[in-house]
Structure 1
Amino acid sequence: MKKKKKLFIFLTLSLLLSVFIFCDPFFYFKLFNKSLTVINNTVYASSLPDNTFKSTYTPKIKFEDMPITKINNVSLHILNQSNINNSPMLLKSQRYYLQLGFICNKLNYTIDASNSKILLSNNDNKISLTKNSYTKNSRTGYLRGNLITSDDANYISISDIEELFNLTAVFDFKNNNISLLDSSVKTPEESSVSYTNKVALIRLEDFGCGSNYAIDKNQTKIKCMANLLYSQGIKFHVSWIPRFKSPADNIDNDLLTNNNIANVGFVNLVDYLINKGGEIGLHGYTHQHDDEISGKGEELSKDVNNTEAETRAVIEKGIDTASALNIPISYYESPHYFDTELQKKVISDYFQFIYEPFNGAENTNIYKSDDSNLFVPTPLGYIHDSDPNSIIDGLNNEDPDTLHSFYYHPFVELKYIDLNTNNNKLNITYDENSPLQKIIKTLKSDDYTTVHIDELIDK
């Protein structure tokens, strides 16, 4: 009798578990970190989702349709030439554009536009341009602003000038000036390690055009952070808040409507981060509600935007902003991880990768629900009070059941960076004891390979 009772209980529990697994679309199973392996820059695992995800949404606003206007009050400083005021300049999607012929003349490049491609060259470099892409020597990539044709002249964005001609744009908001200075960024060497099962993910958090990040000198300091990561071959992520609001200060900074040099500087910074190995994701739309300030308030929770329609509106506004500004986005992160099960399901319609744990802060590894969506947590947490030791300890602990993923608020790093533009150069002093520098040293000494979230697919 006891054996029959035990058998009955076992069968009942097995049946209930089967029903739960097969009927609940949000039953998740774990992908242990030890199954993530990088071989020749490709991520492998025993079970990764297929590369077949398609968003349910087509943006209502497109970069190609954004208006173009003329700019007259911005001066330039190009290498050792100051106060250039007579160069035609255009504005599109918070990017300033200069005539391609003008910048090539200043930098001693020749132009050949006789074929379908535009060829630029000097003694050291050969650059081939199409409307939206480039080949520089043996390296190829996409232009961040695309080429614009106006009055029979080609215009190129300052973001693309930086990338193609090895320059850094330093903005001076007060004087409406932009300095294009020599960039001394060290190009990362190809790693000698072709195989590793020690994988890490890094995310820069709460990044919107307000507060610290609306200050010109701070924007340049963030570029210094990007240069550091790039020079060490570190891949990273940036959780972007598309619209910054601070009702108490009467601030509502919508990048689609507020055309000013501070917003141009910010979008230029986002472009710079992308060119230096950053991937951008949406961190809500405003990351606030009511009288809260962006970055600190709620936006998706059981009490805020808690219907399907409200959730979709928040997500789609962010996607539309990214589309209009030509900023590629690869993941979504709900503010403070407060999203409900309903809101998670809605987010999964738009994004393959949700950069947060599925069950609050409890998850320590990657979860997936179907053949497409992944939830990726940050179990190592974040840096408190400029002390990176908890992150370093987590990286040193090789627990295979814990994904080595963490996040960092960039403003913490700002006080460790000093800079000036004396003698027509960008002069930087970067404290080697900064939290980010210490973390990078640990990543390198422990032989970690950093990956992007959208590499976690079966290619």
Structure 2
Amino acid sequence: MKKRLIAVLLILGVIVGSTAIAKGIMKNPKLKTAAASGGGNVEDSRVGDYSHFRGLPLSKDNIKLKFENKDINLTLPIYYEENRYYLPITEIISKLGGKQILKDNSLTLELGNITQIIDLKENDYLNNDHVYHLKKKSLITGDVVYLSMFDFHKLFNLTVDWDTKARTLAFYYDRDNPARQARPATGKPALIRFEDVSAMNYALPESMEKLRIVSDYLYAKNIPFHVAWVPRYIDPRPSSRADIDISKQYSMENADFVYTLDYMLDRDGLIGLHGYTHQYGNTVSIEGLEFHAPFENGVNIPDTEKYAQDRINLAKDAAQNLDIPYAFFEAPHYGIFSSQLMVAEKNFDIIYEDYPGSPNQIVVRRNGNKTTKFIPTPLNYVDGKKDVNRMINKVKNLSPNVLASFFLAPNLEFDSISLSKDKDGYPTYTYSTSVLHQLLKVFQENGYRFVKITELN
């Protein structure tokens, strides 16, 4: 009889204890509802205890976050790799009242009225019947998920305000989503290229924000564009001694620049390698030549094929280390001797300049199974704001058999862009009539259709 009584009491104790635990879970929504174990599943609506988190094998930085002008006080660290930030999405989503469900190879994230389901195996997600690939793979340890900052911005349609002085990233739901214009089905092909883009000559946060605004403007008009990028900036003068290689050196400013490159790619931009440093010896990047050429200081630059291949390798390595896809090559100031140009041919499918002796013509060169296409810029470049009328006349009088290809420094647009913030801190701007606005209007009026360099026959 005693044994039966003890057994009954034990059963009742288990039932009561289980009920109490269940009530405790219901009262504390911060407790996780399931645990990750190997290939198991985690359903996590609001995870609050991260004492089990063992960290990631990446470098950390003390970056502050805001969302809709409110601080997000994180327990988990922010990491960086290749000048890209990785954010603890699990904790961020939780603190913003969202939900995360991690199940097998699927990650569901809910924030506000947006739900995204990421296929972790394919590294992509479906949005409005279109498949998008994440820029970087998600990093998952236990039930904690990290995503790159760029992917967080893209998944939830966010605007990011960079404050490098305060070391703060402020996120806002994007309030500027103009309808994208339809791209003309036909028209004479035209190309636009932004020249001499490097981390140093666009180092200020305001400059990078304006680069993104120009990219947004072109994206809304459905105009693809090209960016001639210089991976490493060198100024050997004693007054400067600058040497910025964003593929090797971390800083918040460099991270802002890499984010801007990712942003321009996402806005239908194509990036090309404009040399490695755009200089040699005691010359300054952007100003100097890099390859052997029969003018200016080019005669003092080594003329060997090995030198050319070494410089090209350095440029390609920088792009690959940063996971920046490149579509073309352009020699700085078009200065490169024929033997070194042949080296470039072996490395690139498209060289964005005239082929020697064939000005203003698209030239296709074949060497065995390798084909290289030379794409000219017959309209040349916009030499400052005062040069707009000359360029307009050139467009109007261009022969229909000549490619309408031109280039300009994107900072020509900057005086036409005024930055401000509203009462909630949301970044706003005005973008009045600019060099680009005027030129694109003339191209459109004369029956041109902007295309990517990779679309030319």
TM-score range, shorter chain: 0.7 to 0.9
Change (3 A) 1:289 1:179: same
Q: Which residue identity lines up with residue 365 of structure 2 in the other structure?
A: S
3-state SS in 1 of match to 2:272: strand
Determine which of 244, 249, 253 is the counterpart of 2:244. Answer: 253
Match of 1:335 in 2: 332
Matched letter for residue 310 of structure 1: Y
SS of the counterpart of 1:299?
coil
1:283-319 CA distances to partner (integer Å, 9 max, x unpaired)? 0000001121111111012332421111011001111
C-alpha offsets along residues 191-213 of structure 1, whole Å, 9 cap, x if unaligned?
A: 3x43x2411111010001103x1
8 A contact 2:140–2:146 mirrored in 1: yes
Of 269, 288, 295, which residue of structure 1 is paired with 2:286? Answer: 295
Supply the distance in 2 between the matched residues of 1:332 and 1:428 (Cα, whole angstroms): 33
Is the aligned partner of 1:120 residue 2:109? yes
Superposition map of 1:148-227 within 5 A: 148-150=139-141, 152-183=143-174, 184-191=176-183, 193-194=184-185, 196-211=186-201, 213-227=202-216
Alignment CA distance shift 1:176-1:327 (3 Å): same
Question: Helix, strand or coil: the match of 2:66?
Answer: strand
Find the counterpart in structure 1 of residue 408 from structure 2: 408
Q: Deviation at 1:187?
A: 4.2
Q: Are 1:283 and 2:277 matched, yes or no?
A: no
Shift of 1:84: 3.9
- SS class of match (1:379): coil
Aligned to 2:308: 311
Which string of whole-angstrom CA distances, capped at 9 and with x for unpartnered residues, describes residues 94-141 of structure 1? 001102223434565533321323233464554434364332231223
- Establish whether residue 372 from structure 1 lines up as the match of residue 354 from structure 2: no
Report the Cα distance in structure 1 between the residues aligned to 2:141 and 2:392, rounded to whole angstroms: 52
Equivalent position to 2:83, from 86, 89, 94: 94
What letter is aligned with 1:269?
A: T
Distance of aligned partners of 1:188 and 1:125 in 2 relative to their CA distance in 1, 3 Å threshold = farther
Which stretch shifts more, 126-135 or 157-166? 126-135
Say if 2:215 is the partner of 1:236. Answer: no
SS at the partner of 1:438? helix
Corresponding residue for 1:32?
none
State yes or no: 1:140 paired with 2:137.
Answer: no
Query: What residue identity is the alignment partner of 2:376?
Result: P
Q: Hey, what's the Cα distance between the residues in 2 that align with 1:391 and 1:143? A: 39
| Inter-partner Cα distance in structure 1 for 2:273 and 2:60 | 30
Deviates more, 1:84-93 or 1:286-295: 84-93
Following the alignment from structure 2 to structure 1, what is the Cα–Cα distance between the partners of residues 340 and 142? 48
Residues 358 and 165 of structure 1, relative CA distance in 2, 3 Å threshold: same
Cα distance between partner residues in 2 of 1:365 and 1:426: 44
1:374 deviation in Å?
0.6
Quote the residue 2:454 is aligned against: 454
Q: 1:333 and 1:106, CA in 2 relative to 1: closer, same or farther beyond 3 A?
A: farther
Q: Aligned partner of 1:375: which letter?
A: F
| Partner Cα distance (1:288, 1:142) in 2 | 36
1:396-432 CA deviation, whole Å, 9 max, x = no partner? 235123110011101221121111233221110112x
> Which amino acid letter does the alignment assign opposite residue 136 of structure 1?
N
The alignment's TM-score, normalised by the length of structure 2, stands at: 0.79
Any unmatched runs of 5+ in structure 1? 1-66
RMSD over aligned CA atoms reads 2.2
> 8 Å contact 1:68–1:91 — kept in the other structure?
no
Q: Structure 2 vs 1, CA of residues 189 and 124 (structure 1 numbering), >3 Å: closer, same or farther?
A: farther
Letter matched to residue 450 of structure 2: T
**Matches of 1:87 and 1:440, distance apart in 2:** 47
The answer on whether the counterparts of 1:145 and 1:326 sit within 8 Å (CA) in structure 2 is: no
Is the partner of 1:372 in helix, strand or coil?
strand
Equivalent residues of 2:82, 2:322 under 8 A apart: yes
Contact in 2 for aligned 1:365/1:401 (Cα 8 Å): no
The structure with more radius of gyration: 2
Quickly say closer, same or farther: Cα 1:351–1:405, change in 2 above 3 A.
same
RCO (CA 8 Å, sep 6+): is it higher in 1 or 2? 1
Q: Say how many residue pairs are matched.
A: 386
What whole-Å deviation, never above 9, does each CA across 1:347-404 have from its counterpart, x for those lacking one?
11110000011128x7112111227211001111111121322332233235123110
Q: What are the residue-to-residue correspondences of 1:415-434 with 2, within 5 Å?
A: 415-422=415-422, 423-431=424-432, 433-434=433-434
Q: Secondary structure at the match of 2:131?
A: strand
The one-letter amino acid of 2:399's match is D
Report deviation, 1:182. Answer: 3.0
Amino acid at match of 2:66: H
Query: 1:11-56 CA distances to partner (integer Å, 9 max, x unpaired)?
Result: xxxxxxxxxxxxxxxxxxxxxxxxxxxxxxxxxxxxxxxxxxxxxx
Q: Which is further off, 69-78 or 399-408?
A: 69-78
User: How many angstroms apart in 2 are the aligned matches of 1:287 and 1:75?
Assistant: 35
Distance 2:398 2:92 in 1: 50
| Stretch moving more, 103-112 or 406-415 | 103-112
Flag the 1:381–1:148 CA change in 2: closer, same or farther, 3 A.
same
Task: In structure 2, list runs of 5 or more residues that go unmatched.
Answer: 1-55, 294-298
Q: Judging changes above 3 Å, is the alpha-carbon distance between structure 1 residues 358 and 174 closer, same or farther for their aligned structure 2 residues?
A: same
Structure 1 position 157, deviation (Å): 1.2
CA contact (8 A) 1:127 1:137 kept: no
Cα distance in 1 for residues equivalent to 2:256 and 2:315? 20
